[in-house]
Chains A and B, each alone.
Chain A
Amino acid sequence: MKFLSVIHGTGFLLKMKNKRAQLLNSTILQIILIGIVISVFVIALNAKASARGVKQQIVEKELALLIDSGIPGMSFEINKVNFNGYVGGVSLKDGKIFVRLNDLKSLRGYPYFSRYEVSVEELTDKFVVRINEK
């Protein structure tokens, strides 16, 4: 009887250890998954709070307005190291200007209107937008 009770007791202890292990595994898994969700959320929120989109918008629209009001012979320089951040690219396509600022690519761009020919040239430390007669 004593032997049986010892075996029963040992079995019970093993069951309790397995249950504790399962509980620990489950808890750790939940902590990891929730941690992943929160870290993705913090990264996304940081991108929004740094207002990269607003700065990119400002640079694009300022350039569009400069092109709109430009006349042949004018040129505008945009330094790559800019007050609003690092300008990685300036391009013109289908009557729109696209600016890549702080590694944020412009998806929609902003339309400009001009009667003249507009071109962009990339130099070592700046971009130059030129307006010429058609």
Chain B
Amino acid sequence: MKSKRGASDEGLITLFVRLTLVFVIAFVIFGVSSFFYSQTVYVRDAEARILSINLMDCVSTEGLANLDSMKGFESKLLDYCGFSDEEERFFVSAKFYDSNGNMISEFYQGDSGATWVIKLRDSVGGDLNKENFPGYFSFSGPSYLIKDGKTSKGKIGLEVLVQDEE
């Protein structure tokens, strides 16, 4: 009887071992193929560029930036421009300079902490993998500025950073 029990248990053990082996091999092949076939399309740079265009239209309408109307929104640039629910993914900054290059006003919103990643990437240089970095776009250009009721020539510097959507 002991031999008979041993014989039947041996069959079950063999079955279990074979099934486990098949599972492991299938799992490994599936894991490798998932890694090979799955691709992520990154559009963060495009989003940064589009957002910067929208912000430029907002702060400098037809080349004229009215800093007096933006008072109170120094840390709420996105709210000022009507993007009310987008704070978490983005960091945006708009700096206004006079004709001598001195900064006279700054408006921003979001966490500026992630900009160090961009500075690090730029300092390292080379063809680094884009998926590891947030999307980024910066732009500067001339504009007329209205401050304290006075219009003068100046410059706007825009910076937009887009984090991962997760």
Contact = CB atoms under 8 A, between A and B. Distances in A.
A94 to B, nearest CB: 9
Interface stretch (B44-52, B60-68, B114-122, B142-150): B44-52
Nearest to A58: B41
Contacts of A108: 166
Given A30-B18, A111-B165, A95 B50 contact: no
A26 B19 CA distance: 13
Contacts of A41: 26, 29-30
B104 interface: no
B38 A113 contact: no
B15 A29 contact: yes
A90 B145 CA distance: 43
Contacts of B54: 68, 115
Contact of A54 (B23, B29, B39, B53): B39
Given A33-B15, A65-B46, A65-B47, A54 B26 contact: no
Interface in B102-149: none
B83 A61 contact: no
Q: Is the interface of A mostly helix, strand, loop or mixed?
A: helix
Interface in A77-118: 95, 108, 110-111, 113-115
Contacts of B89: 111
Interface residues of B, number: 32
A54 B94 CA distance: 35
B86 interface: yes
B59 to A, nearest CB: 13
Nearest to B34: A48
Contact of A68 (B23, B40, B47, B165): B47
Contacts of B82: 115, 134
Contact of B50 (A22, A30, A69): A69
A54 B15 contact: no
A24 B1 CA distance: 22
19 contacts: A26-B11, A30-B19, A33-B15, A34-B19, A34-B22, A38-B26, A44-B30, A48-B30, A48-B38, A49-B33, A57-B40, A61-B41, A64-B43, A65-B50, A68-B47, A68-B50, A95-B85, A111-B89, A114-B83
Interface of B: 11, 15, 18-19, 22-23, 26, 29-30, 33-34, 37-41, 43, 46-47, 50-51, 53-54, 81-83, 85-86, 89-90, 165-166
Interface of A: 22, 26, 29-30, 33-34, 37-38, 41, 44-45, 48-49, 51, 53-54, 57-58, 61, 64-65, 68-69, 95, 108, 110-111, 113-115, 134
Q: Pick the 8 closest A-B CB pairs, nearest first.
A: A115-B82, A41-B26, A68-B50, A48-B37, A113-B86, A69-B50, A61-B43, A26-B11
